[in-house]
Structure 1
């Protein structure tokens, strides 16, 4: 029987933080004492866990020596400020911000065995929502297909940018439906009933940080350091649920029967047959798997495989992956 752990969640009042609390309870994770932490502005509120109200405290004054494990679901700046301090206090950190450059990125379905190599206390990254979804889908195909190139169009939900982005999409939608003048606030232009060609600012080469992070993380997760990956991330007027159009260029002609069998047998994947296709609203939201559909070869290239993926970005893409990493981790804790 696993010994219960004292655990902290930094960023407990945010969308991902609240989902972490929910999933820890759903999965009956062995929690002894749960410490909920946030900024000074959010401290003082309460969050329900296991039938009890837990008061949210300021992260600035928290002593991480009180806990063995901490989830960081706050901003990159918070992770940079407190994650190393937590590790020095004897606490293993699972960070969801992408701010920790030397932390090990883990998706259990893709590279879960890497946990066994860690010396505790450790810094671990639960990768970006997009990287988690793609790693879950591509890991079972990696050995079979000999993937040489990956092309991804990622249609990202606004919830990845927090509650303010969700509220902005709702407000814009209401204003347009009621024929009122639209004044963009969170986004720099109309988001409702629109598509934005980039998510975040671009660098001197025209790529966003979200795109570069996805490429780097996917290479690590698949263990293919030189894999050729092309990514375009767009912002879509969807509250929850990321979707991906994926094209794989392979060394040999694609055997669709073998591909479908591998996808059907893989953990955390749900294959939707060719007479249907998955959507965020109809399939993914509230679920704990990555849905795969429209599995097909290229129109004029038998060595190309095309896939459509969708998943709940807050659950499977963020909070659930972090908790699944923690489940692997506690097997190695003394």
Structure 2
């Protein structure tokens, strides 16, 4: 391991890229120079890293051979083009997009869940993919449950915030909300329909089977992360008028009886989980009240299903930008720097 490793953050002006830079500026492990990189539209701009200004470099002109590690926080089509270029230049790439998640030769990693052989498998890799925010949070919670008692079925209704569409999504929700309150009509460009004061039951491109790409990908990623191809996963996504933080109503079915107390005990032993539990069932977690500047995954409403046998219902909410994407990428970076670079 080198004492100092130079790092590039690709997509530095986007929502996830900015969150990565913010967290890199506060890490306690040793890193070298950080290069913020973005599209030509951001050339000449500056960003803040550890309270110091840094110039943005044009992605098209960036020399990947000058760094040993590149974190990609860009759309999948951009990652598909530039990640191979980074690898060819001798750079290790951590990709936060969906570009390589379905590639079985590329590790799909949640740093908080790595153990033993999983951790050792990172050595020698040139590309590491991070899962989508929904699959990441589900796997963090359900992997230890699945190890305790086999999960046979997972059913999810996900409430997707505007920040899943990046800064443009947040901006559109804000402008529509202000405009509608001022008596103006809402114009939709980022989302398929008006997002302010509305629910849109279509997030991502619709497939022939009626499921969107995000729904299908989340199911596949969760099966892969839990190494449970036989586990049935059903995901429905709804665009909701919330700026940051995804929330999920989840039902899990297990092979054998597994009660509220058992699930609560497992969840209490997971780092980074804030459990809202108890007979009073009051003050349940919401993305607005509980996720501000938080790296926690909040869980509440744990209860037995009234309609299914060996089934439990729960509510999950977490910051899809700060926690699910940026923090995971930073944690993977730390593991690589401390053990392999």
Give the shorter-chain TM-score range. Answer: over 0.9
Structure 2 spans left out of the alignment, 5+ residues:
none
Q: Establish whether residue 209 from structure 1 lines up as the match of residue 213 from structure 2.
A: yes
Matched residue, 1:172: 176
Give 4+ residue runs of structure 1 displaced > 4 Å after superposition.
none
State the number of aligned residues: 334
Question: Paired residue for 1:110, among 113, 128, 137?
Answer: 113
Q: Using the alignment, how far apart are the partners of 2:230 and 2:257 within structure 1?
A: 21
Kept in 2, the 8 Å contact 1:272–1:278? The answer is yes
Matched residue, 1:318: 325
SS at match of 1:215: helix
Compare 199-208 and 148-157 and name the one that shifted more. Answer: 199-208
Matched residue, 1:129: 133
Kept in 2, the 8 Å contact 1:87–1:121? The answer is no
Kept in 2, the 8 Å contact 1:136–1:269? The answer is no
Using the size of structure 1 for normalisation, the TM-score is 0.95
Compare 304-313 and 321-330 and name the one that shifted more. Answer: 321-330
Distance 1:201-1:108 versus aligned 2 partners, 3 A rule? same
Question: Paired residue for 1:298, among 298, 302, 305?
Answer: 305
SS at match of 1:162: helix
Q: After TM superposition, list the pairs within 5 Å mapping 1:46-61 onto structure 2.
A: 46-61=46-61
Q: Establish whether residue 251 from structure 1 lines up as the match of residue 258 from structure 2.
A: no
Q: Using the alignment, how far apart are the partners of 2:42 and 2:265 within structure 1?
A: 47
CA shift, 1:42, in A, is 1.1
Kept in 2, the 8 Å contact 1:241–1:285? The answer is no
Question: Paired residue for 2:236, among 213, 232, 235?
Answer: 232
Distance 1:301-1:185 versus aligned 2 partners, 3 A rule? closer
SS at match of 1:270: strand
Matched residue, 1:271: 275
CA shift, 1:112, in A, is 4.9
Kept in 2, the 8 Å contact 1:152–1:246? The answer is yes
What RMSD in Å do the two structures reach over aligned CA positions? 1.6
Q: Using the alignment, how far apart are the partners of 1:231 and 1:141 within structure 2?
A: 19
SS at match of 1:105: coil
Matched residue, 1:289: 296
Q: Using the alignment, how far apart are the partners of 1:2 and 1:263 within structure 2?
A: 36
Structure 1 spans left out of the alignment, 5+ residues:
none
Q: Using the alignment, how far apart are the partners of 1:112 and 1:189 within structure 2?
A: 43
Per-residue Cα deviation, 1:195-232 (whole angstroms, up to 9, x for no partner):
00010220111111111211111111112122210011
CA shift, 1:142, in A, is 1.1
